[in-house]
Structure 1
Amino acid sequence: MTSKSPVRSCEDVDETALTYAEVKALATGDERIKEKMDLEVDVAKLKLVRANYLSQKYALEDALLKRFPQEIAREKARIAGYDADIERLAAHDANPSLGMELNGIVYAERKDAGAALLAICKAHPSPEQVEVGTYHGFDLFLSFDALNRAFRLTLKGALSHSVELGDDLFGNLQRIDNVLGALPDRLETAKERLSDLEQQKTAAAEEVKKPFLQEEELNEKCARLAVLDAELNIDKERGESVVALEDSELDSTIEQETDQEEHTSVLSQLQEFAESDSFPARQMRVCVAMEER
């Protein structure tokens, strides 16, 4: 390595990912390889950011298409139900003589009504809802919650309003009155939820229109990376051609040297034979002398 910078630039790159041109560029200090590696990291990060952007955009589009319309419609229905039940309660409160009707008997006194309700609870320890009477225009349904070991009384008007019962006869009636008295507050809470949902829907509709702010940067870096890849690929092809030519020249040189060595070896053997004292050698020397005359 002739430069420290390329060494640092390839610290996070698997060596098996380096092409011939990249190795050569690193060895010669070619700044293109460092630029290429930096661009690859930047492009990967930008693509991840864009993927997150698209994921959020699709989630908002889905919410605008399904979740917000469903939740807004449900909240509007709840508001209409609270309005109707408040009117129902107001109509019966105008006649204070109306008491609680249980199993066909109207109880004007709270003490009597509370005692009758406890008696009904003891007689119906079932998880199935059983209609047991009416109160202030609401139908009363009793059930036993086996998980919590408690009775629940549900008041049904336009909406259903549940209360957990205890062992105190006056306390049970107070809990029922508290549920009905809380209807105006629940109506306001529902209206606030509706307003919040509509604001969320508006904000989502605006957010989904926003483009990916780094799209131009991503496109520019992708284009530059493609140029560098093409340049390094050309260098690779040139390098491979040079290597092939050098290998060919080397093979030719080795072949010529081998032929020369073989030729020299034959001549040496003939010379040694001619100079020997063997009978065939003497005959060969006589023949040569006669030809020279």
Structure 2
Amino acid sequence: MFPEVEVYRYVTEQTFDAYLYQLVESKQKFISQIMTSKSPVRSAEDVDEVALSFAEVKMLATGDACFKEKMDLDIQVSKLRVLKQSYLSEHYDLEDRVLKYYPQTIKEYEERIAGYENDAALAEQHKPQGEDKFCPMTLKGVTYTEKAAAGEMLLAICKDYPMSAPTDIGRYRGFRMEIYYDTVNAHYCMNLCGKAKHKVDLGADAFGNLTRIENELSKLPARLEVAKIKKAETIAQLETAKEEIKKPFAFEDELKEKTERLNALNIELNLNEKDTSVMDTEPEQTEEQPERKCASWER
């Protein structure tokens, strides 16, 4: 019967409608911020909890332009205060990074670099020889020059040691070898111990285990370069953070200016004083006990 329904909204100037739509606008902004992936730039209270003072009602009824300015400043100052709080949070985080995180990370990279340099030089001094590209391997006090024999002996040692605590089993290419059983991943592992420890996951193939050991040692020069690059990047981040800490809040002057203007408007509109409830009160009546008259007895 009625294919279309039209909705009309009427707003009357210099009435309470201004405040009602201000509430709707504030609430809609808050809802829109929550419905997006962005972090809210301001907070909003529920409409039911908002109570107008008598002074605000009076200003709305008279249509005073100062009150409009006051409402706009309220929003702007709130946004600026949230921005400043975000700035302070980032500022404190940078201070923590400058004092703790970056120096500690740089120290860790320096230790890694020293370990990689020492171990890469050690591996270079003991290069594999012969057609098999294999160095003699010492296992349980016995030196094996044949690749096949060393691989089989390594498997036998692993089967005889099903413990999770690392134990020393011999040496290879200048590195001390430790084996242990990884109970989480259910396989044997080896630590090649130089100045640092380098983990090798072992399998069930004799030749495959020796290949894995060689591959781990061949990666030392590349890992040394990566550690140097990471250290340089961390130092650069430290210097950048130090410069960022020196920067003041970009909107400090604007926040100060608008806050002072808002305070002045509050004083001008008498909004800085709390409203007292207007009630038809009667003077308090104190309940006084009637004075007890002592009866006089005449003799």
Q: TM-score, normalised by structure 1?
A: 0.76
Identity of aligned residues (%): 43
2:266–2:272 CA contact under 8 A, matched in 1: no
Match of 1:253 in 2: none
Q: Which runs of 5+ in 1 are unaligned?
A: 248-293
Counterpart Cα distance in 2 of 1:103 and 1:214: 71
2:209 aligned partner: 172
Distance in structure 2 (CA, Å) of the matches to 1:42 and 1:189? 48
Count of aligned positions: 242
Which of 19, 40, 43 matches 2:53? 19
Residue of structure 2 equivalent to 1:6? 18
Could you say what the CA RMSD is over the residues aligned between the two structures, in angstroms? 2.6
| Residue of 116, 120, 134 corresponding to 1:82 | 116
Partner of 1:160: 197
Distance 2:87 2:234 in 1: 22
1:215 is aligned, of 222, 228, 252, to 252
Alignment of 1:49-60 (within 5 A): 49-60=83-94
Residue 65 (structure 1) aligns with: 99
Partner of 2:68: 34
Q: Distance in 1 between matches of 2:203 and 2:102?
A: 39
In our comparison, the structure showing a higher alpha carbon Rg is 1
Structure 1 residues 150-176: Cα deviation after superposition (integer angstroms, max 9, x where no partner) = 000110001100111111100000000
In the alignment, the residues of structure 2 paired with residue 132 and residue 28 of structure 1 have an alpha-carbon distance, to the nearest angstrom, of: 93
SS of equivalent residue, structure 1 residue 233: coil
Amino acid at match of 1:140: M
Shift of 1:9: 3.7
Written as runs of structure 1 = structure 2, the 5 A alignment for 1:125-204 is 125-204=162-241
Report the CA distance between 1:94 and its aligned residue: 7.9
Shift, 1:92, TM fit: 1.8
Provide, for residues 218-240 of structure 1, a one-character-per-residue CA deviation record: whole Å limited to 9, x for no partner: 00110011011101118989x99
Instruction: Give, in angstroms, the shift of residue 199 of structure 1.
Output: 1.1
Q: Secondary structure at 2:126's aligned position in 1? A: helix
- SS in structure 2 at match of 1:148: coil
Is the deviation greater in 124-133 or in 29-38? 29-38
Tell me, in whole angstroms, the C-alpha distance in 1 between the residues paired with 2:243 and 2:116.
Answer: 32
Report the alpha carbon displacement of residue 19 of structure 1 after superposing the two structures with TM.
1.8
Query: Which TM-score applies when normalising by structure 2?
Result: 0.75
Matched-pair contact (CA < 8 Å) for 1:10–1:37: no
| Aligned residue in 2 for 1:45 | 79
Secondary structure (helix, strand or coil) at the match of 1:158 reads coil
Contact 1:9 1:34 in 2 (8 A): no
Distance of 1:178 and 1:231 partners within structure 2 = 79
What residue number does 1:279 align with?
Answer: none
**Contact in 2 for aligned 1:92/1:137 (Cα 8 Å):** yes
Residue segments in structure 2 that go unaligned for 5+ positions in a row? 1-11, 27-44, 281-299
Contact 1:20/1:236 (<8 A) preserved: no
In the alignment, what sits opposite 1:231?
Answer: 268
The match for 1:252 is: none
Look up the match of 1:284: none
Deviation of 1:98 after TM superposition, in Å, equals 4.5
Residue 288 of structure 2 corresponds to none
TM-superposed deviation, 1:20: 1.5
The worse-fitting range, judged by mean Cα deviation, of 227-236 and 10-19 is 10-19
8 Å contact kept, 1:102–1:116: yes
Query: Bigger CA drift: 4-13 or 122-131?
Result: 4-13
CA contact (8 A) 2:110 2:231 kept: yes
For 2:84 and 2:272, the matched residues in 1 are separated by 33
Distance 2:76 2:140 in 1: 76
Per-residue displacement from partner, 1:182-240 (whole Å, max 9, x unpaired)? 10010011011101101111111111111111001100110011011101118989x99
